[in-house]
Amino acid sequence: MVDLNNALVSSILTGYAGFTTSAGYVGPDYRVDHDISLLLPEIWCRMQIKERDADFLIAHGYLEKVSDFCFEGRTVLASRLGYRITGAFAERFLGRIFELPGAVFGEDMLRPEEQNLAQFAEGVDAIVAAQARVAKQYFEDGSVAAACPPLEALLHIMAHGHYKGMTADDEGVRSLFRRDAMLSSDWYRRRLRAKQSRDIALWTRHIESLTAVPELADRLEESHRQLARVSSPDYLNELEGTIGADPSLHHPWLSVPLRDYEAHMNSQAVAQLTPLAVLFAEALAATKPASVAILGVAGGNGLDRIDPSVTRRIHAIDINPEYLAAVRERHATLQGLELHCLDLAEEQAAMLPSDLVHAALIFEHAGVDRCLENALALVAPGGTLSVVLQLPSETAPAVGHSQVPSVQAHRNHFQFVDPESLTIQLESRGFHQDRTTSVPLPSGKAFWQAFFKRK
């Protein structure tokens, strides 16, 4: 899926049309081996740039659209073959290699249905069936959720014959292939954010390494400048028109749109957003912190429970810049809110320690290695770490069946964390368990919350 996205997105962004040549049978009368198909690049080299433009070729009758047709009472989906070269193409362009192009590419070779309509229809049916079989695999493994919008539409059409009731001829589908539609799609914005998040991680790593080498102070200064540049929202404008980076390759959470995440968490099968907000409110009420750090803040669930007259500094940390952008927008008036785009499992959290560190359903996703080290380092002396873990259930799956494909595609990345071993580990690291609670959820699962006070 990543390769398909890269190929299609780069073609759309650069306006590069796709051309293919194939080898095999062209109707029952001709077999074409690669000795012929390999001639096509040779011909392409002899065409001027404007002649290789699909619009030019179509407008001048050098390419013709293959249309669906009725045969023995059924529709044969011959339009799946796209456009094909015409006699005029052979005459004008193949003539640059062959003395008598018409002798090599006769009319019945260019239009194989003229050799035998029944066999042509059967051949098209076989292609349509193969497309459906292949496309269905992307639905079975969930990877369709990572497809760019035009590819998603194509996969639906190949697998099920339509996309939201539209065929490949409908403007609603065709417009998805236009450059402006790609640039303005949420999918593409996520791609740019993934690139931004990679670049932030890269310059952060450079700064970490350069800080240890005083004689490279000029480079350190430049790295700080670059980090500020790539971290700014303007950087997304700079990236516009580039291929960006594939969110699903970078980190599973970057390919889950906030809309999908919240739909999943709010779905009947999961119903966790409100209980999580309540647990955050309880941590705030129990500790009355002047500063708080929230690990894995998502869309800012529960931030409305903060009393700004008590809590004056709020560090909201997440790996997904789209989520943080939503937090910024939703809580624009929350005084002291600072957003940090960070991979807690890979990078070091460098902000000032806080009186309360709230880690709700983050260790299951980011693990207990670097992420736990970050959590501990962020707790100020005398401060509290509030941990919320999901307990395993005998009846409900770890990741609830919410029908949200982008979330379901990553269910294997969830790992339960055992409360007892975590408690033992924290006690040995100078934390004392203050209070634990179990909260049953409507789905049959339960949360475990514990407060650990730094001794």
Ligand X SMILES: C[S@@+](CC[C@H](N)C(=O)[O-])C[C@H]1O[C@@H](n2cnc3c(N)ncnc32)[C@H](O)[C@@H]1O
Region binding ligand X by CB under 6 A among candidate stretches 58-66, 82-90, 138-146, 341-349: 341-349
Q: Which residue type occupies 326?
A: A
In angstroms, give the least distance from the CB of 272 to ligand X: 7
Closer to ligand X by Cβ: residue 239 or 297: 297
Are 149 and 178 in contact by the 8 Å Cβ rule? The answer is no
Of residues 121 and 342, the one with the C-beta less far from ligand X: 342
CA distance 145 to 152: 8
Residue that the structure tokens 């690049």 belong to:
41
Contacts of 129 (CB under 8 A, 6+ apart): none
With contacts defined by CB under 6 A, how many residues of the chain interact with ligand X?
20
Quick check: 250 and 194 in contact, CB under 8 A? yes
Strands 354-360 and 379-391: parallel
Query: CB 262 → ligand X: shortest distance, Å?
Result: 9
CB of 318 to ligand X, least distance (A): 5
Nearest approach, Cβ of 297 to ligand X (angstroms)?
6
Residue with token string 């949360």? 447
Instruction: Report in angstroms how near the CB of residue 312 gets to ligand X at its nearest.
Output: 21
**Site for ligand X, residues 195 to 254, rule: CB under 6 A:** 253
- Pick between residue 107 and residue 338 the one whose CB is nearest to ligand X: 338
State the nearest-atom distance from the C-beta of 147 to ligand X, in Å: 21
What token pair was written down for 2? 């990543």
**Residue 448 interacts with ligand X (CB under 6 A): yes or no:** no
Least distance CB 244 / ligand X (angstroms)? 18
Task: Lay out the site mask for ligand X across 315-334 (x = CB under 6 A, - = otherwise).
Answer: ---xxx--x-----------
Q: Is 345 in the site for ligand X (CB under 6 A)?
A: yes
Looking at beta carbons, which residue is closest to ligand X?
Answer: 296
- Dist CA 12 CA 18 (whole Å): 10
As a whole number of angstroms, the distance between CA 298 and CA 253 comes to 10
- Binding of ligand X by 276 (CB under 6 A): yes
Which range of residues in 122-130, 238-246, 294-302, 324-332 is near ligand X by CB under 6 A?
A: 294-302
Q: Is 387 in the site for ligand X (CB under 6 A)?
A: no
Q: Chain-centre distance of CA 215, in angstroms?
A: 40
Q: Pick from 270, 275, 257: which is nearest to 403 by CA?
A: 270
Q: With CB under 6 A as the contact rule, which of the stretches 185-193, 195-203, 324-332, 358-366 interacts with ligand X?
A: 358-366
Strand-pair category, 69-71 with 291-295:
unpaired
Nearer to ligand X, 246 or 318 (CB): 318
Among candidate residues 23, 24, 30, the one with its CA nearest the CA of residue 116: 30
**Would you say 88 or 398 has its CB closer to ligand X?**
398
The answer to whether the CB of 255 falls within 8 A of the CB of 248 is: yes
> Which H or E run contains 254?
none
Q: Cα–Cα distance between 185 and 376 in angstroms, integer?
A: 39
Min separation Cβ 148 and ligand X, Å: 21
- Rule CB under 6 A: say whether 301 interacts with ligand X: yes
Residues contacting residue 80 through CB under 8 Å, at least 6 positions apart: 124, 127, 128, 131
- Max CA distance (Å), the chain: 91
Cβ proximity of 215 and 202 under 8 Å: no
Pick between residue 86 and residue 255 the one whose CB is nearest to ligand X: 255
Our finding on whether 365 is near ligand X (CB under 6 A) is: yes
Residue labelled with tokens 């609603």: 172
Taking CB under 6 A as the criterion, the residue among 316, 339, 356, 362 binding ligand X is 362
Residues in touch with ligand X (CB under 6 A)? 253, 276, 280, 296, 298, 301-302, 318-320, 323, 342-345, 360-362, 365-366
